[in-house]
C-alpha cells in the first residue's frame, strides 16, 4: 500500500520533469522531420490525449478556453489542407508558379489545397502537440505539486543549459557538445541551435528565482537548509544572467531589463525573516558585476557581447522587408502553415541569393500571418488579448495564495511573446512546451472541482464548485 501511495505521490512530478528534459533535449531547434523530434511529438500526443480523457475535472474556465483556441487552430490548419476546385485554387496568389510546376509534371491543379506544401503544413501542426502536452500535464496533475516542482525545475534547466553553453565555448566545436548540425558553432547555445533561443529560455527562468528568493526571505530561520537553498538560488540566478549576457543576443539584452524590473516586486514580496534582511539584495549587483567581468573580460568570450545590425539581404531588416511584401500578397488566405521558407524564395532578390537562406522570418507574427492569413490573424489577436487580460488580472488583483508564482509564470510567458517580434522562439518545441506549462501555472485553479455531499433527504446532486485564485 505504501508503495502505491509513493508512486501516486511522486509519479506526476517524475513525469513532468522527464517531459521537460525530453522537450529541451529534442526540441531545441525549429527544423522539422528529425527522428528525435518525431519521437517527442509522438510521446506528447499520447500524454495530451491521455490527460484530456482521464483528467476531465480540470477542463473548466480558462483551461477550457485554451482548448477552444487549440480547436480553432486545428480547424484553420485542416481547412488549408482541404481540396479546392481548380478554378478557385488557380486564382489564389502565387499559384501560377505552382501551376507551371504541376503542368510540367503532367498533373492537374484540381483538388489542390490552399497550402502550398501540405506535408509541411501537417508536420507543423504536429509540432503543437508539444505545448499541448506541457499544458495538459500542469492542468491535469495536482497543481501544488507541479507548481512547487516547476518553480525549481525551469531555472535549474536554464542553469544547466547555461553551463553547457560555457563548456561549448571553452571546448569548441570538436567537443561534440553541440546538439544540432545547423547551429552557431563557437557560441554558447546550450541545448538549442540558436543563441537567441538560449537567451530567451534563460530569461524565462529568472522570475522563478525571484520567487524562490522571496520565499526564503519570508521563511528565513538561519538553518543550514535555509543557507543551502539560498546558495542554490544565488547560483541559479548567477548562471542565468551570465548565460543571457554570454549568448550575445541583442533581444536578450533588451529583454533582460524588463524581466528584472518585473521580477523585482516578486523578490521584495516576501517578509523578512530573522536573519534574511535586505542583505540578500546585495546578490543582485554582485551577479551583474561577476557576469559582466566574465563576459566582457575573458578572452575566450570576447566578441560574444555584441550583435550586428546590418541591412543585408539575410539580415533581420532585409528578411522582414521581404516578409512585408509577402504579407501584402497573402494576408487574406495565407500560404499554409510551415511554408514560409519555400514562399520566401519566390520573393527574394535573385542577385542576393547565397548559401545563406531564410528558414523563418525573424518576426514570428509576420510569419504566422503570411502562413495562416486573416483567419490565423484573428485567432492570434484573440489569444493575445485573452492572455494579456489574465496577465493584467494577476498584476492588479489582490494578494492571494501562490500569486507570486503565477506572476512569475506570466513574466516567463511574456518573454517569448515579446521576443517573437524579432525572432521565432516559440517555433522551437522546447520553448513552446515550457511556455505552455507557464500558461497553465497562470490560469489553472489550485483545487479540483468537487461535488458536496447532498443533505439528508435530498436526492438531487449539487452543482460543482471550484476553488480558484
Q: Is 457 exposed, middle or buried (0-12, 13-18, 19+ CB in 10 A)?
A: exposed
Is residue 345 in a domain? no
Is residue 412 in a domain? yes
Residues 208-233 have a mean pLDDT of: 92
Residue 37 has a pLDDT of 82
- Low-confidence winner among 28-32, 106-110, 377-381, 443-447 (lowest mean pLDDT): 106-110
Distance CA 448, CA 439 (A): 18
Averaged confidence pLDDT in the chain: 82
Residue 406 has a pLDDT of 94
Is residue 14 in a domain? yes
For 183, which DSSP code?
Answer: S
Residue 463 has a pLDDT of 44
C-alpha distances in Å from residue 307, one per residue of 40, 59, 158, 253, 428? 33, 45, 22, 10, 22
Calculate helix-pair angle for 429-443, 2-26, nearest 10 degrees: 130
Calculate helix-pair angle for 403-419, 429-443, nearest 10 degrees: 140
358 backbone dihedrals φ, ψ, rounded to 5°:
-100, 105
Distance CA 227, CA 110 (A): 70
Torsion 57-58-61-67 (CA) sign: negative
Residues 318-347 have a mean pLDDT of: 93
Is residue 43 in a domain? yes
| Beta bridge mates, 83 | 113
**Closest CA relative to residue 415, chosen from 152, 212, 155:** 155
Residue 358 near residue 341 (C-beta atoms within 8 A)? yes
Three-class DSSP category at 420: coil
Domain count, the chain: 1
Distance CA 52, CA 173 (A): 43
Residue 11 has a pLDDT of 76
Residue 401 has a pLDDT of 55
Q: Which range has the top average pLDDT, 6-10, 136-140, 289-293? A: 136-140
101 Cβ neighbours under 8 A, 6+ residues apart: none
Q: Which residue did the predictor score with more confidence, 55 or 170? A: 170
Q: Which residue did the predictor score with more confidence, 108 or 25? A: 25
Calculate helix-pair angle for 250-267, 224-247, nearest 10 degrees: 160
Residue 15 near residue 137 (C-beta atoms within 8 A)? yes
Residue 364 has a pLDDT of 95
- Low-confidence winner among 200-204, 208-212, 333-337, 464-468 (lowest mean pLDDT): 464-468
Residues 171-193 have a mean pLDDT of: 91
Residue 459 has a pLDDT of 43
Q: What percent of the chain has pLDDT over 90?
A: 51
Is residue 334 in a domain? no
Strands (E), 105-215: none
Q: Give me the domain span that covers residue 169.
A: 2-81+121-310+362-442
Give the confidence band of 177 by pLDDT, cuts at 50, 70, 90. very high
Which tens digit of pLDDT belongs to each residue from 123-151? Answer: 899 999 999 999 988 888 777 778 889 99
- pLDDT of residue 407 exceeding 60, the answer is yes
| Beta bridge mates, 450 | 465
Give the confidence band of 14 by pLDDT, cuts at 50, 70, 90. confident
Is residue 462 in a domain? no
C-alpha distances in Å from residue 400, one per residue of 7, 118, 208, 276, 405? 31, 48, 17, 23, 11
Q: Which residue did the predictor score with more confidence, 299 or 406? A: 406
Residue 281 has a pLDDT of 44
Model pTM score: 0.86
- Low-confidence winner among 24-33, 80-89, 267-276, 374-383 (lowest mean pLDDT): 267-276
Is residue 430 in a domain? yes
Distance CA 266, CA 207 (A): 8
Distance CA 124, CA 166 (A): 32
Residue 306 has a pLDDT of 43
Give the confidence band of 337 by pLDDT, cuts at 50, 70, 90. very high
Q: Which residue did the predictor score with more confidence, 455 or 424? A: 424
Give the confidence band of 273 by pLDDT, cuts at 50, 70, 90. very low
Give the confidence band of 318 by pLDDT, cuts at 50, 70, 90. confident
Q: Is 196 exposed, middle or buried (0-12, 13-18, 19+ CB in 10 A)?
A: buried
Residue 409 near residue 383 (C-beta atoms within 8 A)? no
Which tens digit of pLDDT belongs to each residue from 435-465? Answer: 999 999 999 887 665 544 444 444 444 444 4
Is residue 353 in a domain? no
Amino acid at each position: 500500500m505504501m508503495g502505491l501511495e509513493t508512486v501516486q505521490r511522486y509519479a506526476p512530478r517524475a513525469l513532468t520533469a522527464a517531459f521537460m528534459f525530453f522537450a529541451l533535449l529534442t526540441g531545441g531547434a525549429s527544423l522539422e522531420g528529425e527522428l528525435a523530434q518525431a519521437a517527442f511529438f509522438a510521446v506528447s500526443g499520447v500524454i495530451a490525449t491521455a490527460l484530456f480523457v482521464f483528467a476531465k475535472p480540470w477542463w473548466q474556465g480558462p483551461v477550457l478556453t485554451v482548448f477552444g483556441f487549440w480547436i480553432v487552430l486545428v480547424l484553420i490548419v485542416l481547412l488549408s489542407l482541404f481540396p479546392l476546385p481548380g478554378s478557385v485554387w488557380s486564382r489564389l496568389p502565387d499559384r501560377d508558379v505552382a501551376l507551371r510546376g504541376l503542368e510540367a509534371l503532367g498533373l492537374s491543379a484540381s483538388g489542390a489545397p490552399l497550402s502550398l506544401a501540405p506535408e509541411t503544413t501537417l508536420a507543423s501542426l504536429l509540432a503543437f502537440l508539444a505545448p499541448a502536452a506541457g499544458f495538459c500535464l500542469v492542468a491535469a496533475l495536482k497543481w501544488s505539486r507541479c507548481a512547487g516542482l516547476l518553480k525549481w525545475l525551469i531555472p535549474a534547466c536554464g542553469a544547466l543549459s547555461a553551463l553547457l553553453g560555457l563548456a561549448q565555448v571553452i571546448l569548441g566545436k570538436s567537443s561534440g557538445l553541440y546538439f544540432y548540425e545547423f547551429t552557431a558553432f563557437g557560441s554558447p547555445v546550450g541545448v538549442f541551435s540558436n543563441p537567441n533561443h538560449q537567451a530567451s529560455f534563460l530569461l524565462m527562468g529568472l522570475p522563478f528565482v525571484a520567487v524562490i528568493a522571496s520565499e526564503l526571505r519570508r521563511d528565513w530561520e538561519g538553518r543550514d537548509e535555509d543557507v543551502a537553498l539560498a546558495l542554490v538560488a544565488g547560483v541559479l540566478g548567477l548562471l542565468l544572467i551570465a548565460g543571457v549576457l554570454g549568448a550575445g543576443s541583442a533581444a536578450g539584452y533588451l529583454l533582460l531589463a524588463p524581466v528584472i524590473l518585473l521580477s523585482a516586486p516578486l523578490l521584495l514580496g516576501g517578509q523578512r525573516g530573522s536573519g534574511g534582511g535586505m542583505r540578500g539584495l546585495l546578490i543582485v549587483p554582485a551577479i551583474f558585476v561577476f557576469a559582466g567581468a566574465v563576459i566582457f573580460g575573458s578572452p575566450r568570450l570576447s566578441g560574444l557581447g555584441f550583435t550586428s545590425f546590418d541591412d543585408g539581404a539575410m539580415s533581420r531588416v532585409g528578411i522582414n522587408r521581404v516578409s512585408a511584401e509577402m504579407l501584402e500578397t497573402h494576408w487574406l488566405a495565407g500560404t499554409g502553415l510551415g511554408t514560409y521558407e519555400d514562399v520566401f524564395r519566390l520573393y527574394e532578390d535573385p542577385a542576393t541569393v547565397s548559401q545563406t537562406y531564410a528558414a523563418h522570418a525573424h518576426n514570428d507574427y509576420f510569419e504566422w500571418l503570411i502562413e495562416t492569413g486573416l483567419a490565423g490573424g484573428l485567432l492570434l489577436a484573440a489569444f493575445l488579448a485573452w492572455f494579456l487580460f489574465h496577465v493584467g488580472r494577476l498584476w492588479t488583483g489582490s494578494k492571494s495564495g501562490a500569486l507570486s508564482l503565477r506572476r512569475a509564470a506570466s513574466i516567463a510567458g511574456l518573454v517569448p511573446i515579446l521576443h517573437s517580434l524579432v525572432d521565432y522562439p516559440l517555433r522551437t518545441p522546447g520553448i513552446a512546451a515550457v511556455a505552455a506549462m507557464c500558461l497553465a501555472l497562470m490560469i489553472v485553479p489550485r483545487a479540483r472541482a468537487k461535488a458536496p455531499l447532498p443533505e439528508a433527504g435530498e436526492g438531487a446532486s449539487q452543482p460543482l464548485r471550484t476553488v480558484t485564485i
